[in-house]
Structure 1
Amino acid sequence: MNILENDKLIIESKNSGAELTRIYSKDLKKEILWNGDSTHWSRHSPILFPIVGRLKDNKTYIEDKFYNMSQHGFARDMDFEIIYNDNTSITYRLISSDETKKLYPYSFELLIKYTIINNSINTNWIVLNKDTKDMYFSIGAHPAFNIYDDLCNYYLEFKSRDIVKRISLEGPYFNSVKEVYNLNNLRLEPKIFEKDALIYTNIDSINLKSNKSKDYININFKDFPLVGIWTPYYKDTNSTAPFVCIEPWFGLADSVNSDKIYTNKAYINKLKPLESFNSLYTITIEKE
């Protein structure tokens, strides 16, 4: 594990998937990030690239050829190299290879940078098109935050822009899209995750709060098109895992009526040759 530390936080990350694996608050003496217990979910905060969600039948048509790719893409299961590391930040890099081109035909460079500033963690993404043609991709975050009490004691506060829409799922694929009015807060309970993730557009930040605590987590992802909110739901007991994922996305699963053409995916991103994509989201441990 690779460790960054200041007087407020300890964060750990690893080369495999460039995944953030631990956030510890010294002030609160509390683990913030899910520990990866495979009883519920073996990951902590995987990087989703070059797809978010699932492809129809795990297949997509790119550059006149079909490619097979599992849910959320391959980056989360590949080894990144560290290209920079100091007391406050670490930067990982994944470069396209013969292995990645069996799954995804483009030449690319993906950089993931973590920086600690006081009681915040900045996550920077840079995607560079190293190809001679336009490159299409999706990218997303999937951090899981610990729930220390009954889920029903927790709620979300939203800061939104423009008109918020709710994207509903049918199985692993998106189906209907409807406008949502007055989405200021949402009380959490197991039943709302019965059909998998809640997905919204035009949200800039979310606070994860508990009725029984003055500390809370703020996830700021201004100008991201989508956010997913998820925890595993167990129908037999009407219960969930002891964490909630708040997932800023630049991409979406295939629709139920997908034609499997990659460039037709909803919320797909395009880069011209040698063009780069840059984005940032921030996790902050706050106290009222």
Structure 2
Amino acid sequence: MELIIKNLDKKYGNGVHALNNVNLTIKTGMFGLLGPNGAGKSSLMRTLATLQDADSGSVMLGDIDVLNNKEAVRKVLGYLPQEFGVYPRTSAVDLMDNLALLKGFENKTDRKEMIEQLLVKVNLWDHRKNAVASYSGGMRQRFGIAQCLIGNPKLVIVDEPTAGLDPGERNRFYNILSEIGENTIVILSTHIVQDVRELCTQMAIVDKGTVLFSGNTDDALLEVKDKVWEKKVSKLELPKYQENYEVISNKLVGGQPLIHVFSNQSLEGFAKAEENLEDVFFAKLNQLV
């Protein structure tokens, strides 16, 4: 199955052009949607999740017209928004049962079996009787994935899922997403480059509602191969380098700025940096490639 997005456009009343002629083809597996805050990622996710209308364009999930047949989409959709609310005193198993009912699973025995399988899958079965509101951030995100998977969806959308998770919970979350992506279209919307590199083979970079890159992560790396150079400089020197070079990023390493500079030729005093998706990301945002 494929999700095919053509000429998708959305402009809000305040004049913000959230989606500007977006074209993407997304196949089964993990697809990373990468962009800075405000790039249009959430607008695209909300449109695909049938939570808002587009101004123009088309979206097809297999033979389902996503923009014009929302009920059909919702039957095969799993959605984990950036933030989701829960009833304060409702246990995980009861909340899952209510959500399964809303998705049309009327047989009590079938619901019970499915809910057990899903809570075991995300390692929450032992905590099934606890209120979801009492869960840690990582546990709540794993519950979010469990509710996403009710009904064996064909499309799963997760929006900024790992923000605030500690490294252990982050790894557990990665593993669950990777397993889901073996048989399902999973769109991971994030501004964290590491998430995309570790999980996804296909990706897109968006900014200001426009797709700057779409394709294989390895192909993305080729766009900056042998074109990124690095050097440690003093904090006082940093403005001079930013003025005289195409500095695409800088970060403190041992209290000293390490700058990455984009150049098609070698630079005296610089070492060639090993290409990474972060360099691709910043080079695309700065329209250097």
TM-score (norm 2): 0.26
Question: Which structure has greater helix proportion?
Answer: 2
Question: Which structure has greater strand proportion?
Answer: 1
Larger radius of gyration: 2
TM-score (norm 1): 0.26
